[in-house]
Amino acid sequence: MYKAMAHTSESKPSLIRWEERDGVKVAIRHDGRTPDQLRPIRMEVGVLSNADGSALVEYGGTRVIAAVYGPREAVPRHVALPDRAVIRCRYHMAPFSTEERKTPAPTRREIELSKVIREALEAVVLTELFPRTTIDVYMEVLQSDGGTRTAALTAASLALADAGIAMRDLVAAVAVGKVDGVIVLDIDEIEDNYAEADMPVAMAPNLNRVLLLQLNGVMTHEEFTKAMELAVKGINTIYKLQKEALRKKYVSVG
Amino acid sequence: MSLTPSTSIIVPKLKRHTMEVLLTRGVRLDGRKLDDIREIKIEPGYIERAEGSALVKLGETMVLVGVKMDIVPPFLDTPNEGVLVVNAEFVPLASPTFEPGPPDENAIELARVIDRSLREIKAVALDKLVLEPGKHVWRIYVDIYVLNHDGNLFDASALASMAALMTTRVPQAVKVEEGYVVDRSRYAGLLPINHRVVTVAIAKVANKLIVDPTYEEEEVADTRLVVAVSDDGRVAGIQKTGGTGYLTYDEVLRAVSLALRKAAVYFEALKKFVEPYRLELEKKLSESEEAQKPETELPRPLPSREREEVVEEIVHEEALSSEDSSEEH
């Protein structure tokens, strides 16, 4: 699934080709997907025995593992809040997850993503049920092939559910993008490298709430509206897969 | 690691209630309408030592941006582009909640959002800041200095960054044996700009969308959406940030439309405060260039082996000064 590609070539490769299918012109992406098609997605809940909750999520070549510890006593104590739980979030990429080795020290990018992921989770976790505690959410990107923050959020919400922490809804996330002028769903690394825009979106699908939204790149107003519609479509599919993954663990146990 | 922050200022319950009641009547605590932006003042060229600078006041919020330039090898994957670096410092004198030390997640996020907004649409013509492809390019440091925090640091910082970049003078690059040195006593011209970009921050308070929130409003807000808008009316970046709340799907669409509309206010401010200064600067630079001409026309006698380098230097200066006329080297 994961394909390496030399980034040294100066000219931008063509990432969309147009094909006639049933008399209609269809955009075909470099890996054969149509613009509204997700990559193969795999989810597994409860993969780590030590964590209170955990999940492994794959979007194509992207593989992220998330673990939740808590609610547990806040250490150091002064970080605790009297009326709610503190969420501590770490999004981190393994040094071997990328083409070039990534330094294990947290980068500015990881610090920013940890923040926006935490803010997304704050909006669904019922933190007021666990005052003076912390809920730790750790996400490790094991292999990166685009859309790692969205896969991390999807995994984090599964791990929270697996830990039995009360939530208003699950969080499902996907990145949409604009590649060669076409709005596409679930962009991978090659597309991201040459995309005109990359837009990660996370939602609480059942409540129709947008929890994370970033746009890196340029879009017209119409393109943005279209990209949002496409994101919702992908998110609803991912949401179904999440529920299936949770059911699979607990039904087989039961 | 990112932690839930403890609410930094406690907005008393009564004040929050007043705010919410007022909002349902379409008024805010400071008397503004929901989509009003506070008074904007921009002072370009505030720091003479910097290659470009601007002090922005957005109501009580005060942000100073300085631009410095130097010459470095380019990144391996972009041998034909200059380097842009955006950094933000929340200096402790700006707010009782700011602590000394390296930038925290909020400062890093702010810098990265502004960086992307400028970079993705190619606001600065980095391709025109190459001295020798693959070897020597200009690096532009945009340093954002928050001096007083009364909310909406994003818009004030974006405005100050844009104003500073629009009035940045590129120093003269002088060729020496191993590369180039920067001569800041002379300028080759203004920094080439492709697009102007501003951000518009929209906060959600009591299920209402308000533009340009104050610190108090940000503290009460569920969340914010920062939308970068380019001078040609496109969306140049988005970041949902702050708070522990959400936006509904419809609120996102409404916020983006609102931002696209309100960006005109910031562009108007750039036109009013920065454009005249930029034109004046341009005039001054071309005059000083004239004054310098005899010097370059009558070079000091040189031993013949050095002559070749001097020719290169002059050719290079010409190339830089004609940057705006789409000529590349």
Structure confidence at residue B293 (pLDDT): 58
| CA B286 from centre of chain | 25
CB-based contact, A219 to chain B, within 8 Å: yes
What amino acid occupies position A173?
Answer: A
A217 forms beta bridges with: A197
Other beta carbons within 10 Å of B174: 14
> Which domains are assigned to chain B?
36-325 (3.30.230.70)
Q: What are phi and psi of B279, to 5 degrees?
A: -65, -40
What amino acid occupies position A205?
Answer: P
- Among partner residues A79, A123, A214, which is closest to B238 by beta-carbon distance? A214
Distance CA B130, CA B126 (A): 8
Element (H, E) at A199: strand A197-204
Size of chain A in residues:
254
CA angle, A118 then A121 then A126, to 5°: 125
In chain A, the percentage of residues whose pLDDT exceeds 90 is: 88
Instruction: Calculate mean pLDDT across residues B210-219.
Output: 95
Chain B contacts in chain A segment 166-195 (CB below 8 A): none
- How does pLDDT run across A166-190, given as a tens digit for each residue? 999 999 999 999 999 999 999 999 9
Distance CA B227, CA A71 (A): 35
Cα torsion for A15, A18, A19, A21, to the nearest 10°?
110
- Cβ B238–A7 below 8 Å, yes or no? no
CB within 8 A of B279, min separation 6: which ones? none
Q: What are phi and psi of A213, to 5 degrees?
A: -150, 120
What amino acid occupies position B37?
Answer: I
Structure confidence at residue B284 (pLDDT): 92
Across the A:B interface, residue pairs with CB atoms under 8 Å apart total: 125
Q: Are B187 and B234 in contact (CB under 8 A)?
A: no
- Among partner residues A81, A118, A219, which is closest to B2 by beta-carbon distance? A118
End-to-end CA distance of chain B: 45
CB within 8 A of A89, min separation 6: which ones? A114, A115, A117, A118, A121, A137, A139, A156, B1, B2, B3
B175 forms beta bridges with: B180
Query: By C-alpha distance, which of B187, B245, B15 is closest to A123?
Result: B245
Structure confidence at residue B9 (pLDDT): 58
CB within 8 A of B69, min separation 6: which ones? B51, B138, B139, B140, B141, B168, B170, B171, B182
What amino acid occupies position B128?
Answer: K
- Among partner residues B111, B235, B239, which is closest to A221 by beta-carbon distance? B235
ipTM of the complex: 0.92
The DSSP bridge pattern shows strands B61-72 and B52-58 to be: antiparallel
Distance CA A254, CA B47 (A): 70
Distance CA B190, CA B140 (A): 13
Structure confidence at residue A252 (pLDDT): 66
Coil vs helix vs strand at A93: strand
Q: How far is B92 from chain A (nearest CA, A)?
A: 21
The per-type count for chain A, helices as H runs and strands as E runs, is 4, 11
Q: Are A98 and A109 in contact (CB under 8 A)?
A: no
Whether pLDDT at B329 is above 50: no
- How does pLDDT run across A120-156, given as a tens digit for each residue? 999 999 999 999 999 999 999 999 999 999 999 999 9
- Cβ B109–A115 below 8 Å, yes or no? yes
Query: By C-alpha distance, which of A148, A154, A143, A124 is closest to A235?
Result: A154
Give B15's pLDDT tier (boundaries 50, 70, 90): confident
Sign for the CA dihedral angle at A9, A188, A60, A253 comes to positive
- Cβ B3–A225 below 8 Å, yes or no? no
- Cβ B235–A219 below 8 Å, yes or no? yes
Chain B contacts in chain A segment 2-31 (CB below 8 A): 7-8
Distance CA A84, CA B229 (A): 37
A29 forms beta bridges with: A16
Answer whether the bond into residue B96 is a cis peptide, omega within 30°. Answer: no
CB-based contact, B135 to chain A, within 8 Å: no
Task: Determine the residue of chain A that is closest to B79 in CA distance.
Answer: A10
Both tokens assigned to B111:
């810098």
- How does pLDDT run across A78-89, given as a tens digit for each residue? 899 999 999 999
Q: Collect all residues of chain A within an 8 Å Cβ-Cβ radius of residue B230.
A: 218
Residue with tokens 């730790």: A136
CB-based contact, A123 to chain B, within 8 Å: yes
- Among partner residues B112, B234, B252, which is closest to A213 by beta-carbon distance? B252
CB-based contact, A215 to chain B, within 8 Å: yes
Whether pLDDT at B7 is above 80: no
Distance CA A233, CA B38 (A): 39
Distance CA A170, CA B11 (A): 31
CB-based contact, B157 to chain A, within 8 Å: no
List C-alpha distances in Å: B205 to A212, B6, B243: 18, 19, 11
Give A7's pLDDT tier (boundaries 50, 70, 90): very low
> Which domains are assigned to chain A?
39-253 (3.30.230.70)
Instruction: Calculate mean pLDDT across residues A239-253.
Output: 90
CA angle, A246 then A248 then A249, to 5°: 70
- Cβ B246–A211 below 8 Å, yes or no? yes
Distance CA A76, CA A79 (A): 6
Structure confidence at residue A99 (pLDDT): 94
- Cβ B246–A210 below 8 Å, yes or no? yes
Whether pLDDT at A96 is above 90: yes
CB-based contact, B10 to chain A, within 8 Å: no
Whether pLDDT at B316 is above 80: no
- Cβ B77–A8 below 8 Å, yes or no? yes
Distance CA A123, CA A70 (A): 17
CB-based contact, A218 to chain B, within 8 Å: yes
Coil vs helix vs strand at B4: coil
Give B294's pLDDT tier (boundaries 50, 70, 90): low
